[in-house]
């Protein structure tokens, strides 16, 4: 039994060896272990932290509206419209998800979003500002009549003249935005068949955001994945149904596909080659944001994804977008949303026609597109898929064109008339940033720490099992040397 370590040392060495193997396995599979742990934390359930922070966000939200004041409306159409940007009219937004229902059979949750807006005194302007803009009610009525016969169009022309409508209209900012204003045509529309109104619900007033404050219908019915499995896999917040449909009924083919993030949970492990797929209710479609750059925000690296020149290209330059045209698709850089706006001549673009067809800017004056001020982007921490900064910006434009049988619009040019643009910027709170830095450090250094632990336990195991125990040190006995025999004899036989 010589050379065999004692049982105690053998147990210690074996334990150290097992711990070394375990630490090595953790080091090699650290990314997978981390991803599994993070996925478990991100799952939405009635008791999860993710759900509590999602159902009623505490991040400060501001909704900025820029209106275009039409300064030479009296000279139209002889003069090109000159537009003066005014604002922003700033509103504090409060958002919460309501009517939440869980669907364990397919790992989804359905809800509606309730938003409320309150005017903020930091606005650049007051709600009493007088704004002149295109008469959207008249323009919409004329647009819907484009396929009518002569007699019906003449009847609309008489109605517009009788009610005193003009191509332009001047109202207070508060009336144009949330308060709304009365119009005789709205009362008339209540008695018209749905075919004449595009199926729009009857309203008593018109405003750009009238009826949206505290409404549950602004974004509609949404059903998204919880991250617990099911149709969208393990990633939460992916759109599954919108307004009870699993596709977009306004479009055909590939354009009818309903997919992407609902805007609050992003895909992880994003790269420069990967895009960011988002479903945007205001556009009634899914869009692909392309990678345009990278940077650092508060010590956290991010990838920047934004809407680019190809996002709203028309069918002539991007054939895959032809199914989005849905009728008029004359200019690139704009999105026809008339089919999901009850047939109104609504077209969305980036502010000031950024990335739009250059001809759009030739039909108005006063617009100056600037990528720094007017782009739509998400700055996302790529490994964790968490947005660090968001700038969501859109511009509403109304389509007008000459209509022979309606005198009011007989001589107008064929153009997109800019009405307003909105901006919503979101910055992550410092509390969240601190947590993200810690989580990112765990991801980056966890494997290295496990490797260090592996080395420590490996050295310990080798030292315990392979190194022989040294004999205990003892002081050598004192050596007594014999005295010379002659000296002893002299002592016994003295002279």
**Torsion-angle region of 380 (φ positive above 0: left; ψ -120 to 50: alpha; else: beta):** beta
Q: Where are the domains of the chain?
A: 59-428
Q: How many helices (H) and strands (E) does the chain have?
A: 13, 15
- pLDDT band, residue 83 (cuts 50/70/90): very high
Of 193 and 238, the structure prediction assigns the larger pLDDT to 238
Contacts 24+ apart (CB under 8 A), 122-125: 122/90, 123/87, 123/88, 123/89, 123/90, 124/86, 124/87, 124/88, 124/89, 124/90, 125/86, 125/87, 125/88, 125/89, 125/173
Of 275 and 350, the structure prediction assigns the larger pLDDT to 350
| Mean pLDDT over each residue of the chain, to the nearest integer | 81
Of 324 and 224, the structure prediction assigns the larger pLDDT to 224
What is the per-residue pLDDT across 166-184, written as a single tens digit (0 to 9) for each?
999 999 999 999 998 888 8
**What would the mean pLDDT of 401-408 be, rounded to a whole number?**
88
Q: What is the pLDDT of residue 232?
A: 44
What is the per-residue pLDDT across 125-175, written as a single tens digit (0 to 9) for each?
899 999 999 999 999 888 888 877 888 888 888 888 888 889 999 999 999
**What would the mean pLDDT of 415-443 be, rounded to a whole number?**
82
Quick check: bond before 319 cis, omega within 30? no
């Amino acid at each position: 039994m010589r050379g065999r370590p004692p049982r105690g040392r053998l147990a210690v060495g074996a334990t150290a060896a097992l711990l070394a193997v375990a630490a090595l396995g953790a080091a090699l599979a650290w990314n997978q272990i981390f991803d599994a742990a993070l996925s478990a934390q991100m799952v939405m359930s009635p008791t999860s932290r993710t759900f509590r922070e999602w159902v009623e966000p505490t991040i400060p939200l501001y909704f900025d509206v820029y209106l275009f004041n039409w300064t030479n409306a009296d000279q139209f159409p002889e003069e090109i419209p000159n537009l003066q940007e005014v604002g922003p009219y700033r509103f504090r937004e409060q958002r919460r998800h309501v009517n939440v229902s869980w669907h364990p059979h397919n790992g989804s949750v359905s809800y509606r979003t309730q938003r409320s807006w309150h005017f903020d005194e930091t606005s650049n302007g007051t709600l009493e500002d007088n704004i002149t803009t295109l008469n959207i009610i008249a323009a919409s009525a004329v647009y819907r009549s484009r396929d009518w016969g002569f007699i019906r169009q003449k009847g609309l022309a008489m109605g517009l003249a009788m009610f005193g409508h003009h191509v332009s209209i001047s109202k207070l900012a508060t009336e144009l935005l949330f308060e709304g204003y009365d119009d005789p045509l709205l009362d008339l529309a209540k008695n018209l068949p749905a075919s004449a109104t595009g199926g729009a619900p009857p309203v008593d007033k018109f405003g750009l955001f009238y009826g949206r404050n505290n409404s549950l219908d602004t974004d509609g019915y949404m059903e998204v994945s919880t991250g617990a499995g099911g149709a969208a896999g393990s990633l939460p917040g992916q759109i599954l149904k919108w307004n009870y449909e699993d596709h977009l009924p306004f479009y055909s083919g590939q354009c009818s596909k309903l997919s992407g993030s609902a805007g609050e949970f992003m895909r992880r492990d994003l790269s420069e080659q990967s895009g960011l797929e988002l479903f945007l209710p205001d556009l009634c479609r899914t869009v692909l944001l392309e990678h345009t750059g990278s940077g650092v925000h508060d010590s956290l690296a991010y990838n920047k994804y934004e809407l680019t020149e190809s996002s709203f290209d028309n069918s002539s330059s991007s054939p895959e977008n032809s199914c989005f045209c849905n009728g008029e698709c004359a200019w690139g850089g704009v999105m026809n949303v008339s089919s999901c706006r009850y047939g109104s001549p609504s077209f969305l673009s980036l502010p000031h026609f950024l990335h739009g067809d250059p001809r759009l800017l030739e039909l108005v004056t006063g617009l100056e597109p600037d990528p720094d001020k007017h782009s739509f982007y998400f700055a996302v921490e790529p490994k964790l898929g968490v947005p660090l900064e968001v700038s969501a910006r859109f511009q509403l434009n109304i389509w007008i064109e000459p209509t022979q049988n309606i005198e009011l619009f007989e001589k107008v040019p064929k153009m997109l008339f800019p009405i307003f643009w909105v901006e919503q910027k979101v910055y992550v709170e410092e509390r969240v940033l601190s947590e993200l830095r810690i989580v990112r450090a765990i991801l980056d250094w966890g494997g290295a720490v496990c490797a260090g632990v592996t080395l420590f336990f490996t050295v310990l195991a080798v030292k315990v099992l392979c190194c022989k125990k040294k004999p205990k040190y003892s002081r050598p006995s004192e050596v007594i040397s014999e005295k010379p025999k002659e000296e002893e004899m002299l002592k016994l036989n003295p002279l």
